[in-house]
Amino acid sequence: MATLAAIRQLSLSYGGAAGTPVLENLTLDIAPGEFVVVVGSSGVGKSTLLRVLAGLAQPTSGEVKLDLPVDRARLPVALVFQEARLLPWRTVRGNVAFGLEALELSREERQRRIEEALALVRLSEFTKRWPWQLSGGQRQRVGLARALAVKPSLLLMDEPFAALDAITRATLQDELIRVWRETGVSILFVTHDIQEALYLAGRVVVLNGKPARVTRDVRINSPWPRNRAEVASSPEAASIRTGLAEQLADGAGI
Amino acid sequence: MTVPSVAERSWPARVAVVFMARPLQSLGGLVLFFALWELASRTGLIRRTVFPPPSAVPEAFWGEFTEGIWLETVQASLGHYALGLLAGSLLGCLAGSLAGLMPRLETAQAWVIRVLRPIPGIAWIPFAILWFGVSESAAVFIIGIAVFWINYFAALGAVQAVDKDLIEVALAFGHRSLGARLFKVLLPAATPGILAGVRTGIGQAWTSVLAAELFGIDGIGQRMMQASGLLNGQIVLVYMLTLAALYGTIDMLFVAFHDWVLRWRR
């Protein structure tokens, strides 16, 4: 199987090699087109993993190999944040254009990309709004459009729906699956919500312990769209829960 | 007989209440202020020679205006006001932003600034006159110094307060150079704070204009001193009110600009 991103023996400690270890000997492969969800409790180091992949944090040891095209018209990875992090002085359109401004694109191509990304997240009617005029869900859509516009090979999502209400979250989960299937982008999605992981993922990776390592790596074969109750009671779900619980008990015993 | 509905009858009144009430009340207050002042003068409570009534102002203004003195005086003041304000604001914003961007630079200059900052712009008048003579340049220098510090601290604070999360967005989306971070995130994010400093400077600069002119540089302050020497209170009043009008107009224009630039804010 081809590999898009290979994370090998990745370790990261805050405050240098002698500092607090967050990730230890973490190894993970992501295949092209895969939808991988990393589950773990708050503070386990999920976001740190994404930050390493996004180039925002340096690992203490180990390596990350990204088999991504070197192309001045695309960014290899793009990040969607938990709190949208839109630039308040830019309109919806301006925010989607933000990543494109770092790329070598013709004016027409840039316009085309913006329109395409906004259509993907169904915000074509909102291009001239300021961020404060949007709902939480709409802001996340803009954040997603901003990331999609740079045509990343790997889309990193850091608990993007955690701050939304349940109904909006459910809608956006469905939208995300649609976007994933339409674009074929690989997704590495981080969450602490097991239900969310089971509903979205092609593969669930359980991260746990201090320092964190992969304790379960479970493929979810149920086709989309999924039945929430069904996936929640599947054997895979049981395995993920056990994986999380084991490590918590382990950690409590230290 | 049909009685007009409440809504029909009251909407012009409502409009009047919403759109007119506050400006009208404020205007009423202003009229009352001038009326009391006039009354105090006519009843002999305040002697005309000590403090002239408002009714003396139009005539005095007309005299100044037709002789061409008013325009010349205002132009002179506005000239060094604009130059000093522009130079002080630009340099202050630039230095403040740089210090905000580079913590080491900020640390290195911290105590230098502790020494220089408490010195009021006006305290530089003796040196300004020594270096530039009693000239326009001296006024520009004095105004510039006062405005510089205001803008320096506003810009420093604004740049330091920029949300680090937004800078991370720039890094995550390929804007990694200092220039890109500066123009894509730091400066736009710091704009509200920087503009607040500029506005304070617009007001403070007038104090320096007057101070410089009282020392003999051409302009409103000097004309006021001349009029005072001739015991012509009306003319002093004309220029005091001129100052109020100039400041009010410039501030209003700036606020319009400010609101347009920051139209992205709620």
Contact B173 A103 (CB under 8 A): no
**B34-70 b/e (C-beta count within 10 Å ≥ 16 → b):** eeebeeebeeeeeeeeeebbeebbeebbeebeeeeeb
Who has greater pLDDT, A70 or B246? B246
The yes-or-no verdict on residue B32 having pLDDT over 80 is yes
A42-53 average pLDDT score: 86
The yes-or-no verdict on residue B17 having pLDDT over 80 is no
pLDDT of residue B20: 64
What is the CB-side half-sphere exposure of residue B209 using CA atoms within 13 A? 28
The yes-or-no verdict on residue A184 having pLDDT over 70 is yes
Opening angle at CA A178, ends A175 and A181, nearest 5: 150
pTM: 0.82
pLDDT of residue A250: 47
Minimal-distance CA residue of chain B relative to A134: B266
- A194-243 pLDDT, tens digit per residue, is 889 999 998 999 988 778 888 888 888 888 888 888 888 888 888 888 88
Interface test with chain A among B164, B171, B173, by most A beta carbons within 10 Å:
B173
Least reliable range by pLDDT among A139-148, A181-190, A225-234, B10-19: B10-19
Interface test with chain A among B167, B169, B184, by most A beta carbons within 10 Å:
B169
* Position B14 confidence tier, pLDDT thresholds 50, 70, 90: low
B245-262 average pLDDT score: 94
The yes-or-no verdict on residue A95 having pLDDT over 50 is yes
Residue A31 three-state SS: coil
pLDDT of residue A165: 92
Q: How far apart are CA B213 and CA B220, in angstroms?
A: 7
Percent of chain B with pLDDT over 70: 92
Of B172, B263, B264, the CB nearest to A56: B172
Residue A221 three-state SS: coil
The yes-or-no verdict on residue A252 having pLDDT over 50 is no
Of A55, A78, A88, the CB nearest to B264: A88
pLDDT of residue B224: 93
Joined tokens for residue A224 = 């989309």
Calculate how close chain A gets to B148, using CA atoms only, in Å. Answer: 26
The yes-or-no verdict on residue A245 having pLDDT over 90 is no
CB-based contact A158:A80 (threshold 8 Å)? yes
Who has greater pLDDT, B23 or B196? B196
What's the whole-number average pLDDT of chain A? Answer: 87
Q: How far apart are CA A180 and CA A199, in angstroms?
A: 14
Chain centre to alpha carbon of residue A251 = 26
Q: CB of B168 within 8 Å of any CB in chain A?
A: yes
* Position B244 confidence tier, pLDDT thresholds 50, 70, 90: very high
Minimal-distance CA residue of chain B relative to A52: B172
Query: Could you give the ipTM of this predicted complex?
Result: 0.88
B108-112 average pLDDT score: 87
* Position A251 confidence tier, pLDDT thresholds 50, 70, 90: very low
A187-197 average pLDDT score: 92
Contact A98 B264 (CB under 8 A): no
The yes-or-no verdict on residue B119 having pLDDT over 90 is no
The yes-or-no verdict on residue A247 having pLDDT over 70 is no
Contacts of B173 in chain A (CB under 8 A): 75, 78-79, 98-99, 102, 146, 150
Q: How far apart are CA A213 and CA A231, in angstroms?
A: 24
The yes-or-no verdict on residue B19 having pLDDT over 70 is no
Contacts of A78 in chain B (CB under 8 A): 172-173
User: B56-265 — its CATH code?
Assistant: 1.10.3720.10
pLDDT of residue B171: 93
| Residue found under tokens 């340096």 | A58
At residue A51, what is the residue type? Answer: R
| Residue found under tokens 């995550």 | B172
At residue B144, what is the residue type? Answer: G
The yes-or-no verdict on residue B157 having pLDDT over 80 is yes
pLDDT of residue A14: 81
pLDDT of residue A253: 38
Q: For chain A, which residues lie within 8 Å of any Cβ of chain B, measuring from their own Cβ?
A: 54-56, 75, 78-79, 81, 83, 85, 87-91, 98-99, 101-103, 130-132, 146, 150
Residue A154 three-state SS: strand
Calculate how close chain A gets to B177, using CA atoms only, in Å. Answer: 10
CB-based contact B96:B155 (threshold 8 Å)? yes
pLDDT of residue B10: 63
Least reliable range by pLDDT among A51-55, A208-212, B128-132: A208-212
**A160-169 b/e (C-beta count within 10 Å ≥ 16 → b):** bbeebeeebb
pLDDT of residue A254: 39
Residue A208 three-state SS: strand
Interface test with chain A among B164, B165, B264, by most A beta carbons within 10 Å:
B264
A164-180 average pLDDT score: 92
What's the whole-number average pLDDT of chain B? Answer: 89
